Copies of this chain bind each other. A is one copy, B any other.
């Protein structure tokens, strides 16, 4: 059985793992994201140490962004205009590919997490799979016909437009669009709208009804455009236990019977679900990207 490396490259920490083709983690390390030289150096050193015990067929990277993912671009695999000091313009994929001499998978953190959940987590057996992380910001990734959805660029699902709730006049917090989905429903929006951090809002606060409505409005658009067979919702905001039942009910209400499927009826608890991979979602997603780059399972 072959082994694959996975790197979850976050803005604050890196998680590097080695896993087998069934997604079982064999080795791991975690460290803070500092300078590119130091951080990529630790990444490369980890995989070099593991190589004798776990000969790897490929490595995948699930990276914070924004990223250049256009294979035709001269800066393919670069981190582009991040505000993170030192990281803008770093040839992330190129430096790792040169160091390892292995096939390298490279994608956004949300596409990787979607792929990991699709192969080994809450999205197993479904296609398409939609994955959203609803936290400080909102991001989404989609697996369609077994592969992450890319096109003109990678999807920026957090910024779709949704109808406003009745009487809601909050301007939204998105610097680009004001009241897009992220502008209305991210953790940042919750804090600004209600004047306190989301985690301090009690369950009976009206914030949660409105939050569920906006998440449901986004899911309605995802369901009508992409028709996912499963929707996985992760991120800090979704830790609030009451949100899942509220979001499920409001999504079905808003669709109003238009999509005739048990997934919007008696089976909705198995349709709109939390992720299963937890703290390994990004790193296992990266492993899956490596497997696809090697032309293996999941391709």
Contact = CB atoms under 8 A, between A and B. Distances in A.
Interface of A: 66, 80, 127-128, 140, 142, 144-145, 147, 149-157, 159-164, 176-177, 179, 217, 220-229, 254-261, 263
A160 B221 contact: yes
Q: Is the interface of A mostly helix, strand, loop or mixed?
A: loop
A254 B144 contact: no
A229 to B, nearest CB: 5
Contact of A227 (B155, B176, B254): B155
A85 to B, nearest CB: 21
Given A147-B145, A163-B163, A220-B161, A153 B260 contact: yes
Given A144-B145, A256-B176, A160 B227 contact: no
Contact of A229 (B152, B217, B224, B226): B152
A150 B261 CA distance: 14
Contact of A224 (B160, B164, B258, B259): B160
Most buried by B among A152, A155, A164: A152
A171 to B, nearest CB: 13
A217 B177 CA distance: 12
Nearest to A271: B152
Contacts of A261: 152-153
Contacts of A224: 155-157, 159-160
Contact of A258 (B142, B144, B159, B220): B159
Given A145-B145, A177-B258, A160 B220 contact: yes
